Structure 1
Amino acid sequence: MESIELREPVILDIPADPASLGLMRGLVERIVHRMEFPREEADRMVLAVDEACSNIIRHAYGNLQGGRIVVTFGIYDDRLEVRIRDFASPADPQTFRARDLEKVRPGGLGMHFMRSAVDEMEYELPPDGGMLLKMVKYRVNKEVPET
C-alpha cells in the first residue's frame, strides 16, 4: 500500500466568518477521503472540525468580524491530526462543558459531537494568546507501510 503521509502539514488560514466554513469543510472532506476513512467516520470528522470552528466564531470572537482561524492538518499513515487555532482572548478549557443529554433543548451538543468523532481531543493555551484545539483520529484496519 502506498504511503499517504505528507512531510509538511496542510494549513488553512480563514476569516472567522460562517461564510468561510464551506471551504474548510470541503478541505476536510478531501483529506478524510484521501485517507480512506469509512464514510460515517469521515462525516463525523467533518462535523467535528466544523463545530469547533463554529464555536470559535460564536464564542471566542462573539460573531465579530476580523478574527482568524488557522486549521492545520497533519496527515500520517496511521492518523489524522487537526489543530484548530484562534487568536481571541483565551478562555479556560475547564469551563467547556457539553450539556446534559437528558435535557431536551436546542444547542449545546457540539462538544458531544466533537468528542464522539475523534480518538483524542485536548485544548492548549499558547503563550502568545488564543486557544489551540488538537483532535486526533486514528485509521483502523489500514495497512501501514513499513519504514
Structure 2
Amino acid sequence: MTTLRRPEIGSTPEPLDLSFPAMPDRLGEVRRQLREWLSRCGIGADRAYDVVLAVSEACSNSVEHGYRHGGGLVRLSGVVTATQLLIKVTDHGEWKSRDEPSDPRRGRGLQLMAALVSDAVVTSDADGTEVEFRIPLDPRLSS
C-alpha cells in the first residue's frame, strides 16, 4: 500500500484540474504536471513515482481504449486533504469490453495500477469511464 506524507497545515495546494486531447503525445506533459502538483502536495519523489506511473497508465488507457474510434478529451483531477490524495481520470469514451479477445502480450495496465495504488477503482457506464485513486496520507510523516 502506498502511504504518503501529509502536507503541512496551511500548505494545501490548489486542486489539480487538467483536460487534454486523447492523444499519446500529450501524456508526457500530463505526467510532468502531475509530478509538479504532487511535489506541491509534499509527496516525496519515490511515492510520487508510483502515483505518476499508476495515473499515467489510467490516462494511457483512456487515450487508447476510451477513444479508439476518434478523438476526445481526458480529464485528470486531484485534491489533497489532511488524510488522502483523491485523483480521478475521466473520459467520455467507451473502453474495450473485457469479453473482447486481447493480445496476450498486453492487458496488464489494471494490474499495474492496483499494484502501485491499493485503492484504484474503475467504473464505466454510458457516459464513459472513471478511474479513481484514493491514496492515504500518513500523518506521522508530516513535517
Bin for the TM-score computed over the shorter chain? 0.7 to 0.9
CA gap 1:65/1:90 in 2 versus in 1, 3 angstroms: closer
Count of matched residue positions in the alignment of Structure 1 and Structure 2: 132
Q: Which residue of 1 aligns with 2:132?
A: 134
Q: Which residue of 1 aligns with 2:22?
A: 16
The normalised TM-score by structure 1 is 0.75
- Could you tell me which runs of 5 or more consecutive residues in structure 2 were left unpaired when the two chains were aligned: 1-7
Task: Give runs of aligned pairs for residues 1-147 of structure 1, distance below 5 A.
Answer: 1-6=8-13, 9-62=15-68, 64-89=69-94, 95=98, 106-125=105-124, 129-140=127-138, 141-143=140-142
The normalised TM-score by structure 2 is 0.77
- Could you tell me which runs of 5 or more consecutive residues in structure 1 were left unpaired when the two chains were aligned: 97-104
Q: Deviations over 1:39-79 (max 9, x none)?
A: 222101111111111111111212x5421101111122322
- Amino acid of the residue matched to residue 4 of structure 1? S
Q: Secondary structure in 2 aligned to 1:139?
A: strand
Percent identity over the alignment is 24
Following the alignment from structure 1 to structure 2, what is the Cα–Cα distance between the partners of residues 135 and 66?
A: 24
Relative to its length, the structure with more strand (as a share) is: 2
Contact 1:4 1:77 in 2 (8 A): no
Structure with more relative contact order (C-alpha pairs < 8 Å, separation 6 or more): 2
